[in-house]
Structure 1
């Protein structure tokens, strides 16, 4: 799975002019399930994001996680994170998971964040959405489960 994280002061997503998800301080997470991804990747990505230390501590260092600051996550599906622009000028998206599988993994990812203790708001899978945010920093981070180490066992 792939995710693009943006640390935000607030964010919202709307469909047809109606807000379907919004958060205050936290992370806007644009997420894409890729061909061959399983729930294991959804769980791994959620665990990494919940513990990723990208919020400032009292000494102004990025040393606190979303859990530490009591932040929320706005999770928005975005199959275009699978874009392959290596040939020509029109990106291809064939490496994205098929829609039904993408939706299942998107839901699983959101649920894994909730299980970790993160309040989660969602966009509407597959819809044409308008996303609004106030970026904090800005801090923007790209994650891909293909390049993450497996989580350590306790």
Structure 2
């Protein structure tokens, strides 16, 4: 699993010119599901995501989590996070999860997030999406297996 986490002032995702998800202050997360991922992996990543202290406190230090500030989440599936560019110039995606399994895990992530976060918005799995955000900072973190090693 891979997350690209962007702290934002606002973010939205649209499909065919229609906004399908939008948030205010919080995190916009691009989500890549790998071929070996499970619900246990999703739970581990979600726990880390919600506990990351990347929002400023009253002293300007990054000491607050999304949960601490009552922030919002926008979750967007993006299999291209598993692009392999080692050979030639055309990326391969053999490390990405099977689309059916990946969609199931993406939906599982959304449901688990909704149990803990008051506002959770999402993109549409497999759709041609347009994502817009005002990155706050900018502050962007890549969360992958190396974060748990």
Shift of 1:135: 0.7
Whole-angstrom CA distance in 2 between matches of 1:124 and 1:115: 20
Q: Which residue of 2 aligns with 1:79?
A: 79
Shift of 1:126: 0.2
Cα RMSD, aligned residues only? 1.1
Q: Which residue of 2 aligns with 1:143?
A: 143
Preserved CA contact (<8 Å) 1:13 1:22: yes
Whole-angstrom CA distance in 1 between matches of 2:93 and 2:117: 32
- Mean Cα displacement is larger for which, 51-60 or 111-120? 111-120
TM-score normalized by structure 1? Answer: 0.93
Alpha-carbon distance change, 118 to 44 in structure 1, aligned in 2, over 3 angstroms: farther
Preserved CA contact (<8 Å) 2:15 2:129: yes
Shift of 1:86: 1.1
Deviation string, structure 1 residues 54-98 (Cα, Å, up to 9, x no partner): 000000011100000100110000000001111111111111001
Gaps of 5+ in 2: none
Preserved CA contact (<8 Å) 1:54 1:64: yes
Preserved CA contact (<8 Å) 1:31 1:77: yes
Whole-angstrom CA distance in 2 between matches of 1:87 and 1:116: 41
Preserved CA contact (<8 Å) 2:14 2:129: yes
Preserved CA contact (<8 Å) 2:72 2:117: no
TM-score normalized by structure 2? Answer: 0.96
Matches within 5 A, 1:1-154: 1-144=1-144, 146-149=145-148
Aligned length: 149
SS of the residue corresponding to residue 47 of structure 1 reads: helix
